[in-house]
């Protein structure tokens, strides 16, 4: 609320400062406050009050090899998904930036359509495609490449494929924005100076695209950390992720103390990464000026 | 903190408000089972009493806790698992049932407590897609025998009566010596097939796994096999040592329409309503008079007739140990 006061002083006629625009965000802030911050804080509070006041839930969570394994696994899956998304997404973003506008808009439409399709429907579709008797295994067997169906679902492979697919647009879109701003003349200049295509890519294009890569990668990584539906449906219990553990505590075991503790740990990591992202974004803006 | 949750609950109320005073809400697990409950119980109840029954779901024990604590209970009758009912009653989460409205004299006493009555009861059976394998496993020991029956097998994912019992029976424990459960022995047995288990988290998924032969056999709810067979899959059921467990009907503490809830439960557990439900789902009625109202062919396929080698999961034991078993179960799964 103090920010509201500050905003109104800022727009006082005495010293016409740039309006902060903060007041226009008040409805949204109030909404988030009431329906997100307050309930979340209430749950987090339970992590130190249930069953008794103290840090016992955190001790239990961090002291157990099982839960630590779930933490490690969550980071591992998120990292793998981020690296693969980046590797596949970069060429797409580049191609989109240099291809004729009409073709690019078709590709964008495909990307966005996939984003707008119901997440559950998409995940079930992957289940059908990846299972032992699914399309992919049938094709590979039909082509004589394998004798036995590959285990593509209910394991880490399934989670990685499903999540990478969902995360791709989130890495392609920021990358496209950055790559498009790169002046093609710079690449021509590199070529004129005798750079091979590989050298132009590694020493010119990649460094210039780095802010976009960092922003996209962080976004994908952070989103992956808290992902629930895809790991729950395409993964097995042996590579459970943190969000599944939280759901288990809250819904099945009805142990909100532990659920709150796990949620707080996830929140802390996410906020820390968000702080990193802000720094990158800040640098990028400075570069623009 | 209360207020915080209350505000969230009020918000939930605001968004679901086409509730009139005479309405009530029934919550179950969705899918074909809830469709059957709506047809056999809710629609008939509305026709008789004029009280509209709104359907909600799926059942979520976290939500029940949130509503009861925030004193904003929007669910009037909830279909829950029997072991949860026994535990939640003791924990003060449920209303005592009014047995002057609900006639319990005809109800299977195994599933009646002060706070709950049976909803329907089911068996964990050994289901198999006979077209996908050379031979179908017949016993729990077969299901744990990866040499004779290689390939993936599917089991219920959540910590609940059924899988631990199956592991102990497969390991040779006599049915009357199951309780108290020897968890060390059960997990040791489960370890032997852990790499070959695909977990199912909902009934529809168990059917999908069997039908697609992703996991051609496993421990499933008997009603799902009935439905799978009707859909044209060569689904075979082995009733050997089938393990029964029941769903229960409960009224969360502080439910807004308590009176209507009691009347609803009275109708839902009546002989005819239970018979209709059993016919539609393949699950057994909890009313002992219902069998008379069904044709002999249907009755034969229900769990209450498969008593030759039947094993009853001990809901009281589970209620007392639900938390401890749950923690160990999920930790074992994640290892």
Write the CATH number for A276.
Answer: 1.10.3720.10
Q: Is residue A8 part of a domain?
A: no
* pLDDT of the residue at A15: 61
* pLDDT higher than 80, residue B7: no
Percent of chain B with pLDDT strictly greater than 90: 74
Q: How many domains does chain A have?
A: 1
Going B43 to B45 to B46 to B52, the CA torsion angle's sign is: negative
* pLDDT higher than 70, residue B153: yes
> From the candidates A132, A137, A229, A262, which should be mutated to test the interface with B, based on the most B CB atoms within 10 A?
A132
Superfamily of domain B122-245+310-334: Periplasmic binding protein-like II (3.40.190.10)
Q: Which residues pair with B154 in a beta bridge?
A: B198, B218
Q: Are A38 and B8 a contacting pair at CB < 8 A?
A: yes
Based on its alpha-carbon atoms, the radius of gyration of chain B, rounded to whole angstroms, reads 20
Q: Is residue A109 part of a domain?
A: yes
The whole-angstrom separation of Cα A17 and Cα B28 is: 58
Q: Which residues pair with B125 in a beta bridge?
A: B220
Q: For residue B63, give both structure tokens.
A: 């939500």
Chain B nearest-CA distance from A130, in A, is 10
The whole-angstrom separation of Cα B318 and Cα A53 is: 28
Percent of chain A with pLDDT strictly greater than 70: 91
> From the candidates A248, A260, A261, which should be mutated to test the interface with B, based on the most B CB atoms within 10 A?
A248
Condensed to tens digits (0 to 9), the pLDDT of residues B20-36 reads 446 999 999 888 889 99
Whether residue B94 contacts residue B250, with contact meaning beta carbons closer than 8 Å, is answered with: yes
CB nearest A45 (choices: B1, B157, B208): B1
Q: Is residue A267 part of a domain?
A: yes
Q: How confident is the model at residue B15 (pLDDT cuts 50, 70, 90)?
A: very low
ipTM of predicted complex: 0.74
The whole-angstrom separation of Cα A174 and Cα A178 is: 6
Give the structural domain span for A128.
59-288
DSSP string over B31-84: HHHHHHHIIIIIHHHHHHH---EEEE----HHHHHHHHHHT----SEEEEEHHH
Condensed to tens digits (0 to 9), the pLDDT of residues B32-73 reads 889 999 999 999 999 999 999 999 988 999 999 999 998 999
State whether CATH 3.40.50.1580 applies to domain B2-121+246-305. Answer: no
Chain B nearest-CA distance from A155, in A, is 10
Mean pLDDT of all residues in chain B? 90
Per-residue pLDDT in tens (0 to 9) along chain A, 289 residues: 444 444 444 444 556 667 778 888 999 999 999 988 998 898 889 999 988 898 999 998 888 888 888 999 999 999 999 999 999 999 999 999 888 889 999 999 998 888 888 888 899 899 889 988 889 999 999 998 888 888 888 888 999 999 999 999 999 998 999 998 888 888 889 889 988 888 888 888 889 998 889 889 998 999 999 999 899 888 888 888 999 999 888 888 888 999 999 999 999 998 998 888 777 665 554 444 3
Condensed to tens digits (0 to 9), the pLDDT of residues B106-143 reads 999 989 999 999 999 899 999 999 999 999 999 999 99
* pLDDT of the residue at A283: 56
Q: For residue A74, give both structure tokens.
A: 């969550």
* pLDDT higher than 90, residue B274: yes
The whole-angstrom separation of Cα B93 and Cα B116 is: 12
Q: For residue A116, give both structure tokens.
A: 């707008």
Q: Are A251 and B334 a contacting pair at CB < 8 A?
A: no
Whether residue B145 contacts residue B125, with contact meaning beta carbons closer than 8 Å, is answered with: no
The whole-angstrom separation of Cα A15 and Cα B204 is: 66
* pLDDT higher than 80, residue B2: no
Among residues B57, B55, B116, which one has the least CA distance to residue B269? B116
A132 CB within 8 Å of a chain B CB: yes
A37 CB within 8 Å of a chain B CB: no
Residue A65: how many CA atoms within 13 Å on its side-chain side?
Answer: 2
Common-topology check for domains B2-121+246-305 and B122-245+310-334: yes
Q: Is residue A180 part of a domain?
A: yes
């Amino acid at each position: 609320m103090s920010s509201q006061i500050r905003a109104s002083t800022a727009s006082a006629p005495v010293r016409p400062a740039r309006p902060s625009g903060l007041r226009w965000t008040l409805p949204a802030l109030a909404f988030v406050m009431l329906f997100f911050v307050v309930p979340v804080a209430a749950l987090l509070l339970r992590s130190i009050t249930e069953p008794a006041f103290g840090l016992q839930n955190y001790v239990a969570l961090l002291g157990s090899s099982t839960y630590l394994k779930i933490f490690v696994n969550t980071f591992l899956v998120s990292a793998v998904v981020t690296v693969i998304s980046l590797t596949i997404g970069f060429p797409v973003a580049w191609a989109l930036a240099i291809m004729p506008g009409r073709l690019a808009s078709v590709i964008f439409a495909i990307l966005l359509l996939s984003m707008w399709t119901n997440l559950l429907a998409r995940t079930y579709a992957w289940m059908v495609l990846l299972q032992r008797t699914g399309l992919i295994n049938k094709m590979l067997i039909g082509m004589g490449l394998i004798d036995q169906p590959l285990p593509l679902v209910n394991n880490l492979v399934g989670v990685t494929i499903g999540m990478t697919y969902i995360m791709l647009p989130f890495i392609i879109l920021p990358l496209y924005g950055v790559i498009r701003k790169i002046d093609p003349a710079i690449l021509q200049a590199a070529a004129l100076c005798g750079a091979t295509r590989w050298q132009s890519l590694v020493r010119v294009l990649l460094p210039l695209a780095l802010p976009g890569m960092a922003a996209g990668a962080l976004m994908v990584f952070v989103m992956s950390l808290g992902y629930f539906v895809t790991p729950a449906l395409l993964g097995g219990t042996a590579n459970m992720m943190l969000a599944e553990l939280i759901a288990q505590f809250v819904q099945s075991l009805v142990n909100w103390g532990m659920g709150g503790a796990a949620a707080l740990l996830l929140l802390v990591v996410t906020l820390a990464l968000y702080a990193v992202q802000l720094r990158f974004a800040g640098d990028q803006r400075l570069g623009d000026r | 903190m209360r207020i915080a949750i209350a505000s969230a609950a009020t918000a939930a109320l605001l968004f679901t408000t086409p509730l009139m005073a005479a309405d009530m809400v029934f919550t179950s697990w969705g899918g074909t089972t809830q469709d059957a409950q709506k047809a056999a119980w809710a629609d008939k109840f509305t026709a008789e009493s004029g009280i509209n029954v709104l359907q909600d779901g799926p059942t979520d024990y976290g939500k029940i806790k949130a509503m009861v604590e925030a004193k904003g209970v929007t669910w009037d009758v909830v279909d829950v698992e029997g072991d949860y009912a026994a535990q939640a009653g003791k924990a003060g989460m449920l209303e005592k049932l009014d047995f002057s409205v609900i006639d319990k004299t005809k109800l299977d006493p195994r599933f009646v407590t002060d706070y709950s009555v049976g909803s329907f009861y089911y068996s964990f059976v050994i289901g198999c897609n006979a077209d996908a394998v050379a031979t179908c496993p017949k016993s729990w020991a077969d299901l744990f025998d990866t040499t004779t029956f290689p390939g993936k097998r599917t089991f219920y994912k959540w910590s609940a009566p059924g899988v631990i019992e199956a592991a102990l029976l497969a390991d040779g424990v006599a049915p009357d010596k199951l309780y108290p459960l020897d968890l060390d022995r059960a997990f040791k047995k489960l370890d032997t097939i852990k790499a070959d288990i695909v977990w199912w988290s909902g009934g529809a998924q168990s059917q999908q796994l069997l039908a697609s032969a992703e996991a051609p056999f496993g421990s499933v709810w008997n009603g799902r096999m009935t439905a799978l067979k009707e859909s044209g899959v060569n689904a075979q059921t082995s009733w050997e040592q089938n393990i029964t467990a029941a769903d229960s009907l409960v009224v969360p503490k502080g439910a807004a329409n308590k009176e209507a809830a009691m009347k609803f439960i009275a109708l839902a557990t009546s002989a005819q309503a239970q018979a209709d439900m059993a016919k539609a789902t393949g699950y057994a009625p909890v009313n002992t008079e219902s069998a008379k109202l069904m044709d002999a062919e249907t009755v034969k396929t229900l769990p209450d007739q498969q008593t030759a080698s039947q094993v009853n999961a001990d809901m009281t034991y589970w209620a007392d140990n639900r938390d401890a078993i749950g923690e160990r179960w999920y930790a074992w799964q994640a290892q």
